[in-house]
Structure 1
């Protein structure tokens, strides 16, 4: 073995970091303060979307936040009153949410998502560990002509970066997804996108790592990170040659142990699995209401949505969730009625950087500590690429991509 690496955080980013580090010959220990059964990744839509080249920090997101600010049932919400941390993050978010920054970020996001998708394909082809991968593409379903116009502009940006994007009329959309409402004017089809089943992938990857000899410390807390290359975990000292912090929104708690911090805020979202007999055949995103739609085997569809910035708890805002359900029923009128009060709603926190790009890199002033977080809504999409790049960085290998845009301390 080349050395000992502690991966702090057992979500999808931490697991793929552990996977590629182990593949590179390191003795890996994954530490998580929970039991690894309910991370943000489990309730994820499971979409693999190289088409998503527009970062969260964009003029469109700013206008949506302003438009929805005083609407408690809107798909985008902002915590009020805001904390000082949130105000500082928001200021940097606003400074980068401009056309020039979006244009630059789109290029590097495209490189990262494309690289990650190729790694998924490689893992699937090599049967590295069992998981399902659906390659039907993703439909962007626009409920209004305004949304269709805006989404067409996004598709043109993606198309300019080499992403195949097909504009569809309402009739063409319904020929692909007959369960859609006749009132939908059109949308965009990204045939290169796909999806996995998040819970299945996570469990399979954990089993693969444990079988390979990776150690898992569940329900364990890191309380100290020393300059002597040792971390105190549940009161015991563990030596390391490298430490990877991949703890999602809780990453700053660990960074503060070494006197560091990055601009990071939670973006709370909801999801639920709905069993039904109606045919929902294609993974999709409902553009106006910002809802993801992922059909799984067994006539179960996972619906996910809402972006509540600055919310740290798991509370579900009833009015917002009820409006989410109404939007789903309007788009898919053939679905049986969904009673919001009877639904078991999952909520989780996406770690959001200020500029919409993840943090992937070495902590300034700490040569053996690395950070991998801030992936916002692209955690599942970007996990293999992030894990691979972290392993290359730790191992001193030639990097597959330029990490400067994702550097810590930017």
Structure 2
């Protein structure tokens, strides 16, 4: 720890907010955190726990729109956009269409890769600290496919990854099965992205909260921000629960609520919540354990071993926040599992055992990270979409570097938080 540099107020206690608080504390800032819920209710808990340098292709990519249209009319499909005349959705959709091209993918790939790689290294450093034990396993993620069409697409993508310097193995049916000796795989092959890893996100979040509290960070839970006091080009205070919170530096995370939060500060951020579901499964046969996390590609289902159990997750529902579970979507996940892993007899979980959360999805598939151009003491970190947990540490480290007036460790120019303003 260094000398106190002033007070930083972090808005949001997801992985981006907690990581920001962690690295700010390391640099000697006094830290307070505002969270509109308690500390157990955000997207950072129920996700697949994956670290994904392999995800260098943004959500806005060629073919996504056509595939999405085909899926929209199937209630159990992995992707759904709720039809709406909402100006927010229309604006988001038009920007998404504009960026769904190969030029955007090529322009973005190396920057997304670098951000994830640095973040992965930071997770390795964090895991070495005695306060942390979140089941970090850096042994790769398997991309499993059943059809020749997807195999062709994924092998092409794997060659792109190799060109980008990522360690990747392209494997046939036997090769992929050798990596999972305890679970039968009904696939024609797969890709092992050896640069990837996984963890237990619940352990990570609870240990991070404990660390922050033990090192002087102050949490204000059930505090929803209702306004900002702004003078000229600086924030003077944040209003929450009719109280004023002052600081020298403000950090806006906020997950899928980032647009609403930014709007209160006079900033426009385009983002839609992408609703996803997950549940835990205890294998009937303990011998059917998995060595790697995996993605069941045609079904768009994530599979992650966690503490002797397996977490299954998936779907992407782009629609305004609506705290209701769509059991058809969950049923779609459950029905797809034995198609890839026939030994796993997964039953539809009780509704109370199903988690859901909202991924913050920007229309160009890129996160928002950097100093606000409009407000000189505001840093924005969010919009990680399906990479949110993976990018947590680099979000936090970058926030602390900007707060200290340092050059960020990663090149973040493409992630300018006001690029659509």
Task: Indicate the TM-score class for this superposition, using the shorter chain for normalisation.
Answer: over 0.9
1:303 aligned to 2:344?
no
CA distance in 1, matches of 2:29, 2:186: 55
Conserved? CA contact 2:49–2:304, under 8 Å: yes
Q: CA deviation at 1:316?
A: 2.4
CA distance in 2, matches of 1:166, 1:21: 38
1:383 aligned to 2:392?
yes
**Helix, strand or coil at the partner of 1:77:** strand
Structure 2 equivalent of residue 280 of structure 1: 290
Q: CA deviation at 1:321?
A: 1.7
1:252 aligned to 2:255?
no
1:324 aligned to 2:333?
yes
Conserved? CA contact 1:28–1:215, under 8 Å: yes
**Helix, strand or coil at the partner of 1:316:** coil
Q: Name structure 2 gaps, 5 residues minimum.
A: none
Alpha-carbon displacement from aligned partner over 1:332-368 (angstroms, at most 9, x marks no partner): 1111341345772111000001111100012221111
Structure 2 equivalent of residue 231 of structure 1: 238
**Helix, strand or coil at the partner of 1:140:** strand
Q: 1:48 pairs with 29, 48, 51, which one?
A: 51
Bigger drift between 341-350 and 177-186 goes to 177-186
Q: Does the C-alpha gap of structure 1 residues 187 and 227 become closer, same or farther in structure 2, counting only changes over 3 Å? A: same
Q: 1:392 pairs with 369, 386, 401, which one?
A: 401
Q: 1:104 pairs with 102, 107, 115, which one?
A: 107
Conserved? CA contact 1:272–1:343, under 8 Å: no
Equivalences for residues 8-407 of structure 1 within 5 A: 8-127=11-130, 129-178=132-181, 183-228=186-231, 229-276=236-283, 277=285, 278-298=288-308, 300-341=309-350, 344-407=353-416
Conserved? CA contact 1:16–1:383, under 8 Å: yes
CA distance in 1, matches of 2:314, 2:277: 6
**Helix, strand or coil at the partner of 1:133:** coil
Conserved? CA contact 2:186–2:341, under 8 Å: no
CA distance in 1, matches of 2:156, 2:63: 11
Cα-Cα RMSD: 1.5
Q: CA deviation at 1:82?
A: 4.6
CA distance in 2, matches of 1:206, 1:320: 32
Q: Name structure 1 gaps, 5 residues minimum.
A: none
Bigger drift between 118-127 and 173-182 goes to 173-182
CA distance in 2, matches of 1:15, 1:307: 25
Q: CA deviation at 1:182?
A: 5.6
Q: CA deviation at 1:130?
A: 3.3
**Helix, strand or coil at the partner of 1:367:** coil
Q: Does the C-alpha gap of structure 1 residues 182 and 197 become closer, same or farther in structure 2, counting only changes over 3 Å? A: closer
Q: Does the C-alpha gap of structure 1 residues 279 and 130 become closer, same or farther in structure 2, counting only changes over 3 Å? A: closer
**Helix, strand or coil at the partner of 2:353:** coil
Q: CA deviation at 1:212?
A: 0.3
**Helix, strand or coil at the partner of 2:128:** helix
Q: CA deviation at 1:113?
A: 0.5
CA distance in 2, matches of 1:130, 1:301: 18
Q: CA deviation at 1:179?
A: 5.6
Conserved? CA contact 2:126–2:132, under 8 Å: yes
Q: Does the C-alpha gap of structure 1 residues 327 and 179 become closer, same or farther in structure 2, counting only changes over 3 Å? A: farther
Number of aligned residue pairs: give it: 409
CA distance in 1, matches of 2:352, 2:17: 30
Conserved? CA contact 2:185–2:341, under 8 Å: no
CA distance in 2, matches of 1:205, 1:335: 33
